[in-house]
Amino acid sequence: MKKQIILLAAVALLFTTCTKEVYNSEICFQETILPIFVSNCSQSECHDSHERAAGYDLSNYEGIMRGVKAKHPLLSEVYKTIRGNSPSMPRKPYASLSARQITDIKVWIEMGAPNTSHCQSCDTTLITYTARIRPIIDNWCIGCHTATNAGGGYDLTTYAGLVSSVTNARLMGTLRNQSGYSAMPKNTSALTDCDINAIQKWINTGYLQN
């Protein structure tokens, strides 16, 4: 009997340990979840503050929460429409979300859908294209900047496309919301200073494809 209890306790411990790993503090609303919605759902004529298709403005926390039942992804409209083999959102011709993005949204809802920000400390040392710059662009920008949907003429899915926004001297002005530039990412708040500074540093050091 004692052995069984110990075994049960061990299994329970294992289970909570695994669960903890899923409840990942790196999933932060501002840095992980919001960009998925902004980049994939708030394109013009979809779920932005002007169009609000089906009543949803998915460009900010309050708007996203209208489609979320905290802790219950399967009762959450925004999760139900993006999951499965042929999800109804994002509508064609926009690409479906990646498996990673869908899981992040599910885990975030299971965590209680908190409005968290600045969950990671700012790394100012490892500023390479692959490790630091590409993830920012993939996260925040490419839903509106692909070859077939190139906002402002910029396909940001490629290194060459991103570099053209640098050499045309358009990138930093848009990120810093300077006058004469269209503020990017469109329809939402600016990137964190940590991300903006990382991109500036990458440009200053020759915007290498490293």
| 199, 136 contact by CB (below 8 A) | yes
Q: Say how far apart CA 133 and CA 165 lie, in whole Å.
A: 14
User: Minimum distance from CB of 69 to ligand HEC (Å)?
Assistant: 26
Where does residue 13 rank: exposed (0-12), middle (13-18), buried (19+ CB within 10 A)?
exposed
Binding-site string for ligand HEC from residue 37 to residue 56, where x marks contact by CB under 6 A and - marks none: -xx--xx-------------
Stretch of residues binding ligand HEC (CB under 6 A), selected from 11-19, 95-103, 125-133, 179-187: 179-187
The long-range contacts involving 165-174, CB below 8 angstroms and separated by at least 24 positions, are 166/203, 166/207, 171/199, 171/203, 172/196, 172/199, 172/200, 172/203
Nearest by Cα to 100 from 143, 36, 163, 38: 36
Under rule CB under 6 A, residue 151 binds ligand HEC: yes
Closer residue to ligand HEC (CB): 68 or 156: 156
Nearest by Cα to 121 from 46, 40, 186, 194: 194
User: Minimum distance from CB of 5 to ligand HEC (Å)?
Assistant: 54
Q: In the set 144, 146, 198, 202, which binds ligand HEC (CB under 6 A)?
A: 144
Q: In the set 79, 184, 198, 202, which binds ligand HEC (CB under 6 A)?
A: 184
- Residue of closest CB approach to ligand HEC: 151
Closer residue to ligand HEC (CB): 109 or 136: 136
Under rule CB under 6 A, residue 32 binds ligand HEC: no
Residue 206, phi-psi category: left (phi > 0), alpha (psi -120 to 50), beta (remainder): left
Q: Say how far apart CA 46 and CA 57 lie, in whole Å.
A: 8
Under rule CB under 6 A, residue 63 binds ligand HEC: no
Under rule CB under 6 A, residue 101 binds ligand HEC: no
Under rule CB under 6 A, residue 33 binds ligand HEC: no
Q: In the set 152, 157, 159, 197, which binds ligand HEC (CB under 6 A)?
A: 152
Task: Read off the tokens for 125.
Answer: 């040392």
Stretch of residues binding ligand HEC (CB under 6 A), selected from 35-43, 104-112, 115-123, 201-209: 35-43
CA 104 to chain centre: 9
| 182, 152 contact by CB (below 8 A) | yes
Residues that bind ligand HEC (CB under 6 A): 38-39, 42-43, 140-141, 143-145, 151-152, 154, 165, 170-171, 174, 181-182, 184-187, 191
